[in-house]
Amino acid sequence: MNKPVLDIIGKTKLELGPAEKQNFGNWWLGRDDDNVAWAIVDKKNARANTLSQDVLADLEKVLDALETSLPKALMIRSAKSGGFIAGADIGEFRQVTDPAQVEERLRKGHAILDRLEALSCPTIAVVHGYALGGGFELALACDHRVAVTGASFGFPEVRLGLHPGLGGTFRLTELIDPIEAMTMMLTGKTAHTQKAKSLGIVEVITEERHVRAAIAALVKKRPGGRSRGLKAMAFNLETARQLAARQMSAKVEEKAPREHYPAPHELIDIWVEHGHNRKKMQEAEINSFARLLLSDTAQNLIRVFFLREKLKANSGGKSSVAHVHVVGAGTMGAEIAAVCAMKGLTVSLSDPDHQALGRAVKKAGKIASDAHLSGIQVRDVLDRLMPDPKQYGLARADLVIEAAPEKVELKKELLASIEARAPGHAIIATNTSSLELPELVSALRAPERFAGLHFFNPVSKLELVEVVSHPGSSAKTLADLNAFVGAIDHLAVPVKSYPGFLVNRILTPYLLEAAILLEEGHEPELIDRVAQEFGMAMGPLEVADRVGLDICLHVAKSLRDNLDTPVADIPAKLKEKVDAGHLGEKTGRGIYKWKDGKPEKSGVGGEAPEYMEDRLILPMLNAAVECLREKVVSDSDTLDAAMIFASGFAPFLGGPIHYAKTRGTDYVIETLTTLEDVYGPRFKPDEGWKELGK
């Protein structure tokens, strides 16, 4: 008689003992011949496991069965190939209005994980891929964790305006160095395989093919229960926690002010007050999570999560691009080439400057290393990235991306040359940030194969890509480009060709107004501080320096020359800096002096005058409404997502259009009208406000 088999992650077949495997909805349970139980989570009708209410309820049934007949040990694994469990089901957090209901759900979840932790047999979580949020908390409720090479662990809740809510606050601070634990929760950063081992999160790292042997060895040693780490015990003293918390709070306030992002500050408060008492910390965690979940910050950040999912859906098709040829090894070309090679594509990179090619290859190695790729993986990335000064790769490319300087005639000449040498099926894309596509397409014989791929700098960190159409772009070309963007793990935003496209059209008035304020005599630190106090990730003048003042000037001129709506005059100081070669970070000097990738700032710049915040922010809202009116983008949600992911528009406010509606469109129009009366026609409310206010 054949033994029943349990299929784990699609490639590992686990032969069980005589007892039949049992199905508990979203879980499978079976035992091998050694009486070791295997609980396999496999959320129904889902590509990834989430710790939703139904998954937790089914885990409770699994625990009922195990407690009836205790095994020698319990292993918990995922049947999904992508990873262990990707946190809670965020969809269950939407439109929640009753904090008592949230607390009730949390207490039930805590009770289930407490039961898992209390099992009298050793429990071992075997993690491949990701273990995030609630998935990490479930793994922490086990006595031991085994990582399959490539596994990672993290608490991303802070990005949703929350902190861990199913015991992570106390279980992780008990298990490892509490400072390291708090840092993980406060930053949302993941601990990859080796880092997780060094921190003490996992005990064993193994390859997939050796999982059974690793588990057998652990069970044979009869591992005992958990114990608090030495450093965790040292922080039993409240004075020790208070001392550490002062430093944490200062760092958190700098990047995430309590006024805008209360969750990390509440987490610190909970740890300081209750870090010596698990029961009190558990209750405080539940109460705080329920309160935070209903805050405007969390609801807006949860909205942003779903906006991101909407952008991912733009890349629904399968990409046919296997070989990318990039023309231009400057800052953007080098980053684009590196990202494509990291995602498994063959990349050829051409540039007449051999030194630029060398720098690009070196940069690709650093980007890959910074992304936690192993030495072998970095080598593989560099093997896929071929410096190609004579453009041999052009004849084999499926996609050619032109990333040359922003000069119309140069780009047109290059595009014509590319089309003459590229295969007939290849898509030709330009990475221009300011030139309208109809201006470039005249150089091509087959305009249907041409479109824009506007990446943002740095490409390896900013996921957004504008897929820019022109009247002659074919539907197939645009669909293929959207799929390509998804294949390199970026977010595609379809836009039509328009001065500045979408993001730069909205962002440029903000940057220009900052430059005007600078010319009026205000300190750059003050201007940037006001924007950051509003909630922008970075001040406008620092953004301008990072983008490059020459590029900002070029986009500003393009808007001035091509828009029908009023645009601010270009400040003389901006022109002077560009003429002097002071272009920002890339030259070491711009509005600020730069050292080691950071601007040198002194002080905070004094008191902000009346209207400074509105002068900076409202031109963005006005331009956003113009883009909707001109149908540059399909809808306001996509616009909000683009501005958040490309420009750092305050995520906790939900994007410019969402913020405008929250603030009140009538009030925004009234304020713009006041600014127009004082400062001129660049603040004139766009006609689109009438439609938006309906």
**458-469 confidence digits (pLDDT tens):** 999 999 999 999
The pLDDT mean for the chain works out to 92
How confident is residue 605, by pLDDT bands cut at 50, 70 and 90? low
Which tokens belong to 619? 């031109």
Sign of the alpha-carbon dihedral angle for 294, 296, 298, 301: positive
How confident is residue 77, by pLDDT bands cut at 50, 70 and 90? very high
Residue 137 has pLDDT above 60, yes or no: yes
How confident is residue 233, by pLDDT bands cut at 50, 70 and 90? confident
Orientation angle between helical segments 524-534 and 612-629, nearest 10 degrees:
60
Task: Look at strands 22-23 and 27-31 and give their pairing.
Answer: antiparallel
Class of domain 323-496 (CATH, top level): alpha beta
Q: Residue 33's pLDDT is what?
A: 83
Average pLDDT rounded to a whole number, residues 153-182: 96
Query: Whole-angstrom Cα distance, residue 473 to residue 149?
Result: 44
Neighbour tally for 519: CB within 10 Å: 13
Q: Residue 94's pLDDT is what?
A: 79
Query: Whole-angstrom Cα distance, residue 432 to residue 442?
Result: 15
Query: Whole-angstrom Cα distance, residue 293 to residue 40?
Result: 30
Average pLDDT rounded to a whole number, residues 522-542: 93
Average pLDDT rounded to a whole number, residues 77-95: 89
Q: Residue 517's pLDDT is what?
A: 94
Query: Whole-angstrom Cα distance, residue 163 to residue 157?
Result: 5
Active site residue 482: no
Per-residue pLDDT tens digits for 272-283: 999 989 999 999
Residue 617 has pLDDT above 80, yes or no: yes
Residue 223 has pLDDT above 60, yes or no: no
Task: Look at strands 144-148 and 123-127 and give their pairing.
Answer: parallel
Which tokens belong to 362? 């070196």
Residue 692 has pLDDT above 90, yes or no: no
- Give domain limits for the chain: 5-293, 323-496, 503-601+609-692
Helix or strand holding residue 416 (H, E):
helix 408-421
Q: Residue 534's pLDDT is what?
A: 94
Lowest pLDDT segment from 155-164, 226-235, 339-348: 226-235
Residue 224 has pLDDT above 70, yes or no: no
Residue 614 has pLDDT above 50, yes or no: yes
Residue 566 has pLDDT above 80, yes or no: yes
Task: Look at strands 491-496 and 594-595 and give their pairing.
Answer: unpaired
Query: Whole-angstrom Cα distance, residue 157 to residue 528?
Result: 28
Q: Residue 205's pLDDT is what?
A: 95
319, HSE (Cβ side, Cα atoms, 13 Å): 24
Active site residue 372: no
**Which residue in 49, 504, 636, 647 is the catalytic one?**
504
**Which residue in 466, 525, 585, 626 is the catalytic one?**
466
Q: Residue 468's pLDDT is what?
A: 97
How confident is residue 446, by pLDDT bands cut at 50, 70 and 90? very high
Residue 169 has pLDDT above 60, yes or no: yes
Average pLDDT rounded to a whole number, residues 604-617: 87
Q: Residue 457's pLDDT is what?
A: 87
* CATH number at 503-601+609-692: 1.10.1040.50
How confident is residue 1, by pLDDT bands cut at 50, 70 and 90? very low
Per-residue pLDDT tens digits for 306-332: 999 999 999 988 999 999 999 999 999
> Could you give phi then psi for residue 146, rounded to 5 degrees?
-110, 130
How confident is residue 606, by pLDDT bands cut at 50, 70 and 90? confident
Of 394, 341, 406, 675, nearest in space to 557 by CA? 406
Q: Residue 471's pLDDT is what?
A: 95
The more confidently predicted of residues 97 and 284 is: 284
Q: Residue 226's pLDDT is what?
A: 56
User: Is 659 in contact with 595 (CB distance < 8 Å)?
Assistant: no
How confident is residue 229, by pLDDT bands cut at 50, 70 and 90? low
- Residue type for position 139: A
Per-residue pLDDT tens digits for 346-386: 999 999 999 999 999 999 999 999 988 889 999 999 999 99
**Which residue in 192, 325, 454, 554 is the catalytic one?**
454
Q: Residue 97's pLDDT is what?
A: 84
Q: Residue 157's pLDDT is what?
A: 96
Provide the 3-class DSSP secondary structure of residue 466: strand
Task: Look at strands 27-31 and 36-41 and give their pairing.
Answer: antiparallel
Residue 416 has pLDDT above 70, yes or no: yes
Residue 672 has pLDDT above 80, yes or no: yes
The domain made up of 5-293 is a member of CATH 3.90.226.10 = yes
How confident is residue 15, by pLDDT bands cut at 50, 70 and 90? low
**Which residue in 26, 431, 433, 482 is the catalytic one?**
433
Interacting residues of 521 by C-beta distance below 8 A, sequence separation 6+: none
In order, the DSSP letters of 236-293 are TSHHHHHHHHHHHHHHHHHHS-TTT-HHHHHHHHHHHHHTT-HHHHHHHHHHHHHHHH
Active site residue 454: yes
Longest dimension (CA), the chain: 89
* Percentage of the chain lying above the pLDDT 70 cut: 95
The burial of 383, by beta-carbon neighbours within 10 Å (0-12 exposed, 13-18 middle, 19 or more buried), is given as exposed
Active site residue 562: no
